[in-house]
Amino acid sequence: PAWTAASWPAPSVLGWFAEVIRRYEQLDAWARQGRPQIYWFPGFFNPQGFLTSVRQEITRSHAQGGGSAAWALDRVETRTDVRAFEYKPGQPFEDREALPESKAVLIYGLSLEGASWNLKGRVLEDAIKGDIFRDLPVMCVYAGLIGEKRDDGAKKGRGAKAQNFFKCPVYKYPRRTDNFFVFDVDLPCAESSEKTGNVVYDNTFFRMRGVCLLLSQE
């Protein structure tokens, strides 16, 4: 049917309808109360478009006044920073960390498949035995100049030691196709230790395990 072009896959009609209601509630609150402090990322029909709008807003904020310091959109990339707290709908929200950009946004609702997240250390670790999915904490999304050195929030409190990162793909659904790909995020990896059997957690380690982030587990 033609209406499916404006819809999305769901395992059941009941689950699809529940998601319709939740998407409506987010958009309705946004329209009535203004921009929310935090966004339910799976609730966007076009999440790539949302990310583009974030880059555009930050680029414009750096273009005011012109000059050589002004940013150009084609020289800007999406950046992320996983925060040190989780969020569930309906609970009080408070982010005590400063945003890397005034136009940065906070999102939640992503699930980690094939790995686990150390909330205290803010690093990616090997999956806990028996776990398939783990909820990722709140993520800050912002933008920066391509090639510019970044000050990643995950390094705070851990010294200046070089950090390994895993370029983690984000998909809308478990079926990993180009049609469902959203973007890549750089997740800091846990350091090697006797506790981990001196295994080196890096991009290769997690890529070989097929680790990814999902907007929906079904």
User: Does residue 94 have a pLDDT over 90?
Assistant: no
User: Does residue 100 have a pLDDT over 50?
Assistant: yes
24 belongs to a structural domain: yes
Instruction: Please indicate whether residue 152 or residue 4 has the higher confidence score (pLDDT).
Output: 4
Give the pLDDT score at 158. Answer: 45
Full domain range(s) for residue 132: 9-214
19 belongs to a structural domain: yes
User: Does residue 64 have a pLDDT over 80?
Assistant: no
3 belongs to a structural domain: no
1 belongs to a structural domain: no
User: Does residue 194 have a pLDDT over 70?
Assistant: no
pLDDT, tens digit, 9 for 90 and up, residues 7-31: 777 767 777 778 888 888 888 988 9
132 belongs to a structural domain: yes
User: Does residue 3 have a pLDDT over 60?
Assistant: yes
Kindly state the percentage of the chain with pLDDT values over 90: 52
186 belongs to a structural domain: yes
2 belongs to a structural domain: no
Give the pLDDT score at 163. Answer: 73
Say which CATH number the domain at 14 has. Answer: 3.10.490.20
Give the pLDDT score at 159. Answer: 43
Average pLDDT over residues 122-142: 93
Give the pLDDT score at 181. Answer: 96
Average pLDDT over residues 121-127: 93
> How many domains does the chain fold into?
1
Average pLDDT over residues 85-104: 87
134 belongs to a structural domain: yes
pTM to 2 decimals? 0.84
DSSP annotation string for the chain: -GGGGGS---SSHHHHHHHHHHHHHHHHHHHHH-S-SSEEGGG-S-HHHHHHHHHHHHHHHHHTT-STT---GGGEEEEEEE-S----TTS-----SPPSSTT-EEEE--EEESEEEETTTTEEEEPPTT-SEEE---EEEEEEETT-----GGGTTS-S----EEEEEEESSSS--GGGEEEEEEEEBPPP-TTTTT---SHHHHHHTT-EEES---
